[in-house]
């Protein structure tokens, strides 16, 4: 019997045949399935088997969360199929016109989900003839992630839908696994572990070691000092009596974030000084909690970098008040001074160097991945290792950038991975971006700089080794710190995950789904929401397809409107957020947006309203939320702005409580216009910003300079050029401009570019 797969579309002797993969694929063809197998055991090959069986029935859509992973899957399929032109790749780098062309001519489309979501909402494509959708890294199919919307559209549109979800780690909570299954309409769960008899022959040995390290007492003293600052904020918060639960210094970050979300939600319905004081304290608590973690698990260098960012936030015009208050605390300033004078180091960097030396000495051709939670640590490690000739290390981080830390574009990431495979680099110092979606089959050692409390992330990290050959996993643990707690949390969650998957794999679909619904469908199932709609409109939900254009910045609202049966088309609208007919267009603003746009020259409420009133016969402003008067802006100014919108511009204001009610109002307006025989028609253009407004915006964009200071500077100097060439002393002659603002302007104008 051949040890390779055989199929009319497949090149001979390209894909090895493994019986457990055939078994999983065969079952997946009988019903939509979630397949859970460890990294390195050929999830892509299982997907290929199902794809080959379904591609003659219609187009196949293969989704992956990142561009590198999309490229990886597309290259694999083009390599093993006889006709490589059957496969096309779609990412955000392709123009909409090019994507439409690729979709029309391809049998297999490999894409990021965001691109497919955008093209569905823009009605450039549909899923009617798609015979199979593969969701790679299917554990992402929760909340508002694009997988959820695509799966919903697929099951509403496709003639004969079949879904295949593949992942190494769906999570340890049965509720989350059930939510994934419901969101993807999964009917069966199939799983294999490395211990299963049919899998064991293909598993390479993977040794896991724990290295326990002692943190110097001097650094622990700094940690204790930060903890005292943290405790004082926690005591203040508990004394307010606003928090529904009491917290302490041992509360986890997850618990603190949950409490912050609860307080933010409370502020929308119970706006008072105590609530906002609690929210402000929570912001300080989270920042200090993070500082404690850095002190005990990362070391002085990472902590110093964090303190520098807090200082930058405190000085910035757009920075948080929490950062300012922390930086003004005498106790915190003492901590900063103690850190500056610290003469000891955290033991982890030295341990990393020692372990890498030993690995490379024993096996010179080794490829090693070092995982850390923080970019600052990755930067520090790279600097710490640069003098070791045998260690050719490179930093591998995500795309986002900040002032003091440049991210990596996907092109640069791909270049680094190619050099890592080729041996130009032998050590990859990676943050979470390296945990999934990259193809590095020959890693000999994975080093955890710290344990992670997530079973998903831990499994993905460990899965980077032991794939093509035997591998080694080393985890550093600082004794007496949260490293130890995170280790046990991860171990417990991983065991629980395997148990939950086994239990759920034997249950029928109905019991897996429980009470979960895809988020975008919940609005139509909410009786309280439907009660806000006219009875006749309720009957029409899902039956009448009124058309509506929605601005591309309102995608989440577009999904909700679509779930009410409207025919939504997402496009870039120059005027308004929603167009429901040739005469009715809607501008939607939350209470916070409304207040911000009064004073923000970039958003300029009155220009937006003027454009709306000029362009459409029946313009409407929807003002969403109860927290209109909870900002620092004078209530009279807010009322004056609303009066101006209604009286000066003739634009009626419709208040709504939340986005659910906003969606109901928009849907009702769309149905009303449809009954009048009116079709939506987009027209109008933004009014160009005047030279005066452009000058004010340019200067106000400088850190620490707001609209008022920008106007003062322009009035004093008379031009942008003269502001930019002024000395620090000359700048300080202007009202409201002090030494810090003057310094910021001079740094921007005179500082060297470090790109």
Check residue 530 and give its pLDDT: 39
pLDDT at 275 over 90: no
The confidence band for 468, taking pLDDT boundaries of 50, 70 and 90, is low
Query: Between 9 and 269, whose confidence is greater?
Result: 9
Beta-sheet strand order (sheet of 163-167): 87-90, 108-111, 59-63, 130-136, 163-167, 33-36, 188-191
Q: What is the pLDDT of residues 59-72, one digit of tens each?
A: 999 999 988 889 88
- How high is the pLDDT of residue 515? 38
Confidence at residue 714, expressed as pLDDT on a 0 to 100 scale: 93
Task: For residue 316, give the 3-state DSSP assignment.
Answer: coil
Mean pLDDT across the chain, nearest whole number?
Answer: 85
* Residue extents of the structural domains in the chain: 19-202, 206-213+346-479, 217-340, 522-675, 691-750
pLDDT digits (tens, 9 = 90+) for 11-24: 999 998 888 999 99
User: How wide is the angle at C-alpha 646 spanned by C-alphas 641 and 649, nearest 5°?
Assistant: 95
Q: What is the pLDDT of residues 488-514, one digit of tens each?
A: 887 777 777 777 776 666 555 444 444
Rounded Cα–Cα distance for residues 352 and 362 (Å): 16
Better-predicted residue by pLDDT, 222 or 413: 222
The predicted structure's pLDDT at residue 359: 93
| 547-551: strand order across its sheet | 567-571, 547-551, 578-579, 584-590, 618-624, 653-656
How far is Cα 206 from Cα 87, in angstroms, rounded to an integer? 35
Instruction: Name the superfamily (CATH) of residues 19-202.
Output: P-loop containing nucleotide triphosphate hydrolases (3.40.50.300)
Task: Report the CATH architecture of 691-750.
Answer: Orthogonal Bundle (1.10)
Q: What is the pLDDT of residue 136?
A: 95
Do the domains at 19-202 and 522-675 have one common CATH topology?
Answer: yes
Mean pLDDT of 619-624: 96
* Whether residue 439 has pLDDT greater than 80: no
Q: Which of 55-69, 482-496, 721-735 shows the lowest mean pLDDT across its residues?
A: 482-496
How far is residue 41's CA from residue 35's CA, in Å, rounded to a whole number? 12
Fold of 217-340: phosphoenolpyruvate carboxylase, domain 3 (1.20.1320)
Tokens standing for 147?
A: 């997988």
Model confidence at 440, pLDDT cuts 50, 70, 90, reads low
- Give residue 114's pLDDT band: very low, low, confident or very high (50, 70, 90): very high
Q: Which homologous superfamily does the CATH classification assign to the domain defined by 206-213+346-479?
A: P-loop containing nucleotide triphosphate hydrolases (3.40.50.300)
Quote the CA–CA distance of 394 and 428 in Å, as a whole number: 5
- Mean pLDDT calculated for residue range 56-84: 93
pLDDT at 130 over 50: yes
Q: Which of 69-73, 243-247, 262-266, 525-529 has the highest mean pLDDT?
A: 69-73
CATH number of 522-675, picked from 3.40.50.10130, 1.10.1240.10, 3.30.470.10, 3.40.50.2300: 3.40.50.10130
């Amino acid at each position: 019997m051949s040890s390779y797969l055989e199929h009319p579309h497949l090149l001979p002797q390209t894909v090895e045949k493994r019986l457990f993969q055939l078994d999983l694929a065969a079952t997946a063809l009988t019903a939509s399935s979630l397949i859970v197998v460890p990294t390195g055991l050929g999830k892509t090959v299982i997907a290929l088997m199902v794809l080959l069986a379904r591609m003659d029935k219609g187009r196949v859509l293969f989704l992956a969360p990142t561009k590198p992973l999309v490229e990886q899957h597309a290259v694999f399929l083009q390599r093993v199929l006889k006709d490589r032109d059957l496969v096309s790749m779609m990412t955000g780098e392709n123009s909409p016109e090019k994507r439409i062309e690729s979709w029309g001519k391809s049998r297999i489309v490999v894409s990021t989900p965001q691109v497919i979501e955008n093209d569905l909402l823009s009605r450039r494509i549909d899923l009617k003839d798609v015979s199979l959708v593969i969701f790679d890294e299917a554990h992402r199919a929760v909340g508002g992630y694009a997988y959820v919307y695509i799966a919903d559209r697929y099951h509403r549109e496709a003639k004969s839908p079949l879904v295949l979800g593949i992942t190494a780690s769906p999570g340890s909570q049965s509720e989350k696994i059930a939510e994934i299954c419901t969101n993807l309409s999964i009917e069966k769960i199939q799983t294999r572990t490395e211990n299963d008899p049919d899998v064991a022959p293909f598993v390479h040995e993977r040794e896991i070691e724990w290295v326990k390290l002692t943190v110097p007492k001097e650094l622990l003293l700094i940690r204790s000092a930060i903890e005292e600052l943290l405790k004082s904020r926690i005591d203040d918060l508990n004394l307010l009596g606003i928090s529904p639960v009491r917290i302490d210094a041992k509360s986890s970050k997850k618990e603190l974030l949950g409490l912050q979300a609860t307080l933010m939600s409370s502020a929308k319905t119970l706006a008072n000084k105590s609530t906002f004081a609690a929210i402000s304290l929570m912001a300080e608590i989270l920042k200090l909690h993070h500082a404690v973690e850095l002190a005990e698990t990362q070391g002085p260098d990472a902590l110093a970098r964090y303190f520098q960012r807090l200082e930058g936030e405190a000085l910035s015009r757009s920075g948080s008040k929490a950062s300012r208050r922390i930086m003004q605390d005498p106790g915190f300033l003492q901590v900063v001074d103690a850190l500056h004078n610290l003469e000891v180091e955290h033991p982890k960097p030295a341990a990393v160097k020692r372990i890498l030396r030993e690995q490379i000495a024993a096996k010179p051709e080794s490829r090693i991945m070092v995982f850390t939670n923080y970019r600052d640590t990755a930067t520090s490690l790279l600097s710490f290792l640069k003098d070791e000739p045998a260690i050719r290390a490179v930093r591998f981080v995500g795309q986002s950038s900040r002032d003091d830390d440049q991210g990596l574009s996907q092109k640069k990431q791909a270049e680094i991975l190619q050099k890592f495979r080729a041996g130009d680099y032998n050590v990859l110092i990676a943050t979470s971006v390296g945990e999934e979606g990259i193809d590095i089959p020959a890693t000999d050692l994975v080093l955890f700089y710290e344990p992670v409390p997530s079973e998903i992330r831990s499994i993905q990290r460990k899965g980077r080794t032991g794939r093509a050959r035997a591998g080694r996993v080393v985890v550093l643990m600082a004794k007496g710190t949260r490293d130890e707690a995170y280790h046990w949390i991860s171990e417990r969650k991983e065991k629980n995950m395997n148990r939950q998957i086994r239990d759920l794999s034997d249950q029928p679909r109905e019991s897996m789904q429980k009470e979960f619904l895809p988020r975008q469908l919940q609005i139509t199932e909410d009786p309280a929401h439907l009660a806000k709609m006219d009875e006749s409109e309720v009957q029409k939900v899902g039956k009448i397809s009124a058309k509506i254009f929605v601005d591309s910045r309102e995608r989440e609202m577009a999904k909700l409107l679509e779930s009410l049966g409207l025919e939504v088309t997402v496009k870039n609208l120059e005027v308004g957020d929603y167009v429901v007919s040739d005469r009715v267009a809607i501008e939607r603003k939350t209470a916070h947006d409304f207040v911000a746009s009064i004073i923000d020259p970039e958003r300029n409420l009155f220009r937006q309203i003027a454009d709306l009133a000029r362009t459409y016969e029946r313009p409407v402003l929807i003002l969403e939320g109860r927290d209109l008067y909870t900002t620092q802006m004078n209530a009279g100014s807010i009322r004056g702005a609303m009066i101006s919108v209604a009286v000066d511009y003739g634009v009626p204001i419709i208040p709504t409580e939340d986005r659910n009610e906003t969606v109901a109002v928009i849907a009702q307006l769309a149905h009303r216009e449809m009954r009048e025989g009116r079709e939506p028609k987009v027209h109008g253009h933004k009014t160009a910003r005047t030279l005066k407004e452009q000058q004010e915006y340019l200067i106000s964009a400088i850190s620490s300079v707001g609209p008022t200071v920008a106007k003062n500077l322009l009035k004093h100097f008379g031009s942008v050029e003269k502001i930019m060439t002024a000395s620090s002393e000359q700048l300080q002659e202007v009202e409201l401009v002090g030494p810090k603002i003057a310094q910021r302007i001079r740094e921007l104008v005179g500082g060297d570019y470090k790109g």
